[in-house]
Amino acid sequence: MGFEHLKGFRDIFPEDAQVRLELFSKMEDVASRFGFAPIEYPSVEPLDLFKIKSGDELVKQTFSFKDKGDREVTLIPEATPSTVRLLTSRKEISRPVRWYSMPKLWRYEEPQSGRLREHVQFNADIFGSDSIYADAEIIGLATKILDGLGLKEEYEIRLNDRNLMNNILGNIGISNTPAALSIIDHYGKVDNDTLLSEMSDQGIDDEQAESVIKLLGNNLNPPDLMDFLSSLIFMDDKTIENVNRLEDTYTLLKKYTDAKIVVSLSTVRGLGYYTGIVFEGFDRKGELRAIFGGGRYDNLSKLLSEQSIPAVGFGMGDAVLEILLKRTNRWKAEQRRKKYAVCCSTKKLADRCIDLALELRDLGASAISDLNNRSLSAQLKNASSNDCDYAVIIGEADIKSGKVTLRTLRTGEQSQISIEELVKAVRNDHI
RNA sequence: GCCGGGGUGGGGUAGUGGGUAUCCUUGGGGACUGUGGAUCCCCGGACCCGGGUUCAAUUCCCGGACCCGGCCCCA
Between CA A154 and CA A148 the distance in angstroms is: 12
User: Which nucleotide shows the minimum CA-to-C1' distance to residue A194?
Assistant: B71
Which element (helix H / strand E) includes A413? none
For residue A56, what pLDDT is reported? Answer: 67
Long-range pairs for A167-171: beta carbons < 8 A, 24 or more residues apart:
A167/A236, A167/A238, A167/A239, A167/A242, A168/A215, A168/A229, A168/A233, A168/A239, A168/A265, A169/A212, A171/A233, A171/A234, A171/A235, A171/A236, A171/A239
Residues A351 and A379 in one domain: yes
Q: Find the Å distance, CA of residue A12 to C1' of nucleotide B39.
A: 36
pLDDT for residue A166: 92
Q: Which residues pair with A142 in a beta bridge?
A: none
Instruction: Read off the pLDDT of each residue in A201-206 and give the average, rounded to a whole number.
Output: 84
Does residue A293 sit within a domain?
no
Q: Do A302 and A270 have their domain in common?
A: no
The answer on A279 and A249 residing in a single domain is: yes
pLDDT at A18 over 70: yes
For residue A220, being part of any structural domain is answered with yes
From the C1' of B35, which residue's alpha carbon is nearest?
A377
Closest residue to B49 (CA, C1′): A1
Average pLDDT over residues A90-96: 93
With a pLDDT cut of 90, the percent of chain A lying above it is: 57
- Judged by C1' against the alpha carbon of A270, the nearest nucleotide is B74
Q: For residue A1, what pLDDT is reported? A: 45
Mean pLDDT of A244-263: 96
What type of residue sits at position A183? I
Residue spans of alpha helices (H) in A149-236: 162-172, 177-184, 192-201, 206-216, 225-232
Judge residue A225's burial from the number of C-beta atoms within 10 Å of its C-beta, 0-12 exposed, 13-18 middle, 19 or more buried.
Answer: buried
- The answer on A105 and A151 residing in a single domain is no
Does position A163 have pLDDT exceeding 90, yes or no? Answer: yes
- In this complex, the residue with its CA at the shortest distance from the C1' of nucleotide B69 is A112
CATH of the domain at A67: 3.30.930.10
pLDDT at A54: 64
Q: CB under 8 Å to A54, separation ≥6 — which residues?
A: A271
CA of A382 to C1' of B27 (A): 12
For B65, which residue's CA is nearest its C1'?
A7
Q: What is the pLDDT of residue A55?
A: 61
The residue-averaged pLDDT of A325-347 equals 86
The answer to whether the CB of A183 falls within 8 A of the CB of A199 is yes
pLDDT at A413 over 50: yes
Please check whether residues A117 and A6 belong to one and the same domain: yes
**How many beta carbons lie within 10 A of that of residue A421, not counting itself?**
14
Same domain, A330 and A357: no
Q: How far is CA A218 from CA A2, A148, A215, A229, A348, in A?
A: 52, 29, 7, 11, 75
- Determine the nucleotide nearest to A1 by Cα–C1' distance: B49
pLDDT at A156 over 80: yes
A105 burial type by CB count under 10 A (0-12 exposed, 13-18 middle, 19+ buried):
buried
Whether residue A291 is contained in a domain is answered as no
One domain for residues A259 and A383: no
Question: How much of chain A, in percent, has pLDDT values that exceed 70?
Answer: 98
Q: Which residues pair with A190 in a beta bridge?
A: A187
State which nucleotides on strand B lie below 7 Å from a protein beta carbon: 1-3, 26-32, 34-37, 65-75
Q: Model ipTM?
A: 0.84
Q: Which nucleotide is nearest to A59 (CA to C1')?
A: B75
Report yes or no on A423 lying in a domain: yes
Q: What is the pLDDT of residue A2?
A: 60
Identify whether A394 is part of a domain: yes
Q: What is the pLDDT of residue A148?
A: 96
Distance of A52 CA from B33 C1′ (whole Å): 77
Residue A356 belongs to domain with CATH number? 3.40.50.800
Number of domains in chain A: 3
Å from the A91 CA to the B18 C1': 79
Three-state secondary-structure class, residue A117? coil
Q: Based on the domain organization, do A34 and A123 belong to the same domain?
A: yes
Nucleotide nearest to A271 (CA to C1'): B74
Instruction: Find which nucleotide's C1' atom is closest to A377's CA.
Output: B36
Give yes or no for residue A431 having a pLDDT over 60. no
Average pLDDT over residues A395-413: 83
Residue A348 carries which DSSP code? G
Distance A291 CA to B71 C1' (A): 20
Question: Would A137 be classed as within a structural domain?
Answer: no
> How many angstroms is C1' of B10 away from CA of A34?
44
pLDDT given for residue A338 in this prediction: 87
Q: Are A33 and A98 in contact (CB under 8 A)?
A: no
Q: Is the pLDDT of residue A228 over 90?
A: yes
Determine the structural domain holding residue A321 and report its residue range: 1-130+298-335
Look at residue A258 and tell me if it is in a domain: yes
CA distance A227 to A68: 60
pLDDT at A90: 92
* Between residues A417 and A251, the one the model is more confident about: A251
Q: Is A25 among the domain residues? A: yes
Same domain for A123 and A216?
Answer: no
Instruction: Mean pLDDT check: name the lowest of A41-50, A227-236, A279-288, A391-400.
Output: A391-400
Phi and psi at A342, nearest 5°, equal: -90, 115
- Residues A249 and A418: their CA atoms lie apart, in Å, by 62
| Short-list A345, A341, A423, CA closest to A383 | A341
How many angstroms is C1' of B53 away from CA of A125?
62
Phi-psi region of A387 (alpha: psi -120 to 50; beta: other; left: phi over 0): left
Distance A110 CA to B48 C1' (A): 20
* A118 and A159 together in one domain: no
Q: What number is the average pLDDT over the span A293-299? A: 94
What's the mean pLDDT when you consider all of chain A?
Answer: 90
Residues A370, A241 within the same domain: no
Q: Is there a single domain that holds both residue A180 and residue A304?
A: no
Note the CA–C1' distance, A112 to B2, in angstroms: 14
Nucleotide at minimal C1' distance from the A10 CA: B67
> Looking at the predicted structure, is the pLDDT value of residue A70 above 70?
yes
